[in-house]
Amino acid sequence: MTPDSIRRIGILTGGGDCPGLNAVIRAVAKTAMLQFGIEVFGIEDGFQGLIENRVRPLTFRDVSGILTRGGTILGSNNRCNPRRYCTSTAADGTPIFSDVTQLCLATIRDRRLDAVIVIGGDGTMSCAAPLVEAGINVIGIPKTIDNDLFGTEITFGFLTAVATATEALDRLHSTADSHHRVMVCEVMGRNAGWIALTAGVASGSDMILIPEIPYDEDAIGQYIRQRMDSGPGFAIVVIAEGATMRGGSQVISRIDPTSPDPIRLGGIGQQVANTISQRTKAEVRTTVLGHVLRGGMPVAADRILATHFGYHAVSTLMSGATGRLVVRENNIFSDVDLLVCAGKQRLVPTQHTLITAARAIGTSFGDDGTHQSHAPRPTTDV
Ligand code: F6P
């Protein structure tokens, strides 16, 4: 299909929501309408809407005034993978899965969509892969608070999550100081520690525990004792939900068998709090920020990033490219093969400069300071 023949495009938002989704929808739709006279259609609830043919036209008015709004006007879904879709359950409650890619293709045909803009993380890009393989014009836009999508140095939503976590950590700081307590704060991020690392540094947290650097209980105990006994007498620990003890495994809060990524993490913060209580005399409290990080208005930097990504997605499409993911690398916007990035995670390199800088100012990573790099791991999460 030549760029000239692209007259109607669909947009969907997949996976867990994040601040900035509406800002991207706005940027895609306005660029398409104003620059190319393209009709824009919103696909509801991610791939669910594509499977169920729930698609509605978006007017200029629909996408005006939504730049600052949290969530997504289209709805999203992180329990829906067309290639492995739960169609029914067996008598014992076991889900039965089918490949319903053909239903998605039928919706695209029925709605005469010449291209689909897919806004999501690594799992959503995996869900989009069969559409690309079937010859559909797909352009991906990287979204997730976790900032873990392979191929791009940043995803929108991340900076807002970091700002929210930083504010929460700042608030914990003053109450920790008043009561001479240790505050453990668990943040989201799945298998990546980007949120914990970045908010931890921004808030001046004393200890940052991330999945990429497994912690040692003795090292944690020793550091906290020293801070309580001969330091300021309080401590802030920020921990990523995917963090693990050296030789241990991640703490799972819930398993949803119908979800493409059935595992939901959560609970490691309380475990570390227990460890600190057992190994020190400190009074410890735990806070779990959870979905608070996904809600609310995007910060200015995310609105700007979202606008750039939305514009680049339409420009990439209209340049004749297909099956591409728009990315930012070394501060430059470009695009890469979507199929190469689908399903891959970008973890924090253990030699990251922010880790080096944090260590230099005395921040503990709950280890002895030596660590190995991790390669990106495949996942099926959406
Ligand atoms: O990927 C975004 C994210 O918020 C992760 O940080 C978290 O592990 C997961 O989604 C939570 O998923 P749910 O909304 O299904 O609880």
Whether 380 is covered by a domain: the verdict is: no
Kindly report each contact of residues 94-98 with a partner whose C-beta sits within 8 Å and lies 24 or more positions away, as own/partner: 94/257, 95/257, 95/258
Asked if residue 224 lies in contact with residue 235, where contact means CB atoms within 8 angstroms, the answer is yes
Tell me how crowded residue 285 is: count the other CB atoms within 10 A of its CB.
14
Whether 141 is covered by a domain: the verdict is: yes
Q: What is the pLDDT of residues 208-263, one digit of tens each?
A: 999 999 999 999 999 999 999 998 999 999 999 999 999 999 999 999 877 767 89
| pLDDT score recorded for residue 382 | 35
Asked if residue 366 lies in contact with residue 215, where contact means CB atoms within 8 angstroms, the answer is yes
Whether 382 is covered by a domain: the verdict is: no
SS3 234: coil
Mean pLDDT to the nearest integer, 125-138: 96
Whether residues 269 and 340 fall in one domain: no
Does any ligand 1 atom lie closer than 6 A to the CB of residue 186? no
Does any ligand 1 atom lie closer than 6 A to the CB of residue 211? no
- Which residue, by CA, sits nearest to atom 2 of ligand 1? 16
Whether 381 is covered by a domain: the verdict is: no
| 55-59, 114-118, 260-264: least confident range | 260-264
| pLDDT score recorded for residue 380 | 40
- Which residue, by CA, sits nearest to atom 1 of ligand 1? 16
Distance of alpha carbon 80 from alpha carbon 56, whole angstroms: 19
Residue 372, pLDDT above cutoff 60: no
Q: DSSP letters along 237-298, please?
A: EEEETT--BTT--PPEEEE-TTSSS-EEE--HHHHHHHHHHHHSS-EEEEEE-GGGGG-SPP
318: CA distance to ligand 1 center in Å? 33
Distance of alpha carbon 112 from alpha carbon 331, whole angstroms: 36
Which ligand 1 atom lies nearest to the CA of residue 190? 8
Whether residues 142 and 172 fall in one domain: no
Mean pLDDT to the nearest integer, 289-301: 98
Whether residues 122 and 215 fall in one domain: no
DSSP code of residue 62: T
| 91-100, 179-188, 272-281: least confident range | 91-100
Tell which one of 125, 148, 264, 291 to mutate to probe ligand 1, the residue whose CB is within 8 A of the most ligand atoms: 264
Whether 47 is covered by a domain: the verdict is: yes
Does any ligand 1 atom lie closer than 6 A to the CB of residue 189? yes
Residue 96, pLDDT above cutoff 60: yes
* Length, in residues, of the chain: 382
Residue 47, pLDDT above cutoff 90: yes
Residue 249: CATH number of its domain: 3.40.50.460
Asked if residue 312 lies in contact with residue 27, where contact means CB atoms within 8 angstroms, the answer is no
Whether residues 128 and 233 fall in one domain: no
- Which of 139, 135, 152 shows the shortest CA–CA distance to 311? 139
Does any ligand 1 atom lie closer than 6 A to the CB of residue 265? yes
- Which residue, by CA, sits nearest to atom 3 of ligand 1? 16
Whether residues 337 and 254 fall in one domain: no
DSSP code of residue 233: S
- Which of 18, 8, 1, 11 shows the shortest CA–CA distance to 298? 18
Task: Give percent of the chain with pLDDT exceeding 70.
Answer: 96
Distance of alpha carbon 335 from alpha carbon 381, whole angstroms: 22
Q: How confident is the model at residue 30 (pLDDT cuts 50, 70, 90)?
A: very high
Q: Which ranges of 14-58 would DSSP assign to H, the alpha helix?
A: 21-36, 47-51
| pLDDT score recorded for residue 375 | 42
Mean pLDDT to the nearest integer, 133-145: 97
- Confidence (pTM): 0.95
Whether residues 284 and 306 fall in one domain: no
Whether residues 214 and 353 fall in one domain: yes
Does any ligand 1 atom lie closer than 6 A to the CB of residue 144? yes
Which ligand 1 atom lies nearest to the CA of residue 146? 6
Number of domains in the chain: 2
Whether 360 is covered by a domain: the verdict is: yes
Whether residues 37 and 178 fall in one domain: no
Asked if residue 323 lies in contact with residue 115, where contact means CB atoms within 8 angstroms, the answer is no
Q: Cα–Cα–Cα angle for 125, 130, 135, nearest 5°? A: 110
List, by residue number, the catalytic residues.
146
| pLDDT score recorded for residue 378 | 42
Asked if residue 236 lies in contact with residue 176, where contact means CB atoms within 8 angstroms, the answer is yes
Whether residues 19 and 142 fall in one domain: yes
Whether residues 40 and 171 fall in one domain: no
Whether residues 173 and 42 fall in one domain: no
Whether 94 is covered by a domain: the verdict is: yes
SS3 157: coil
Amino acid at 231: G
Mean pLDDT to the nearest integer, 273-295: 98
- Which of 220, 215, 161 shows the shortest CA–CA distance to 188? 161
Q: Which ranges of the chain would DSSP assign to H, the alpha helix?
A: 21-36, 47-51, 101-110, 122-133, 158-179, 194-203, 217-230, 268-279, 300-318, 338-341, 353-360
Residue 106: CATH number of its domain: 3.40.50.450
Distance of alpha carbon 76 from alpha carbon 291, whole angstroms: 14
| pLDDT score recorded for residue 260 | 67
Residue 142, pLDDT above cutoff 50: yes
Report in angstroms the alpha-carbon separations of 270 from 233, 246, 274, 275, 284. 21, 17, 6, 9, 10
- How do strand 85-89 and strand 95-98 relate by DSSP bridges? antiparallel
Whether residues 363 and 268 fall in one domain: yes
Q: To the nearest whole number, what is the mean pLDDT of the chain?
A: 94
- Which of 207, 211, 241 shows the shortest CA–CA distance to 348? 211
Whether 81 is covered by a domain: the verdict is: yes
Mean pLDDT to the nearest integer, 53-82: 96
Does any ligand 1 atom lie closer than 6 A to the CB of residue 77? no
Residue 267 structural domain: 163-293+349-375
71: CA distance to ligand 1 center in Å? 14
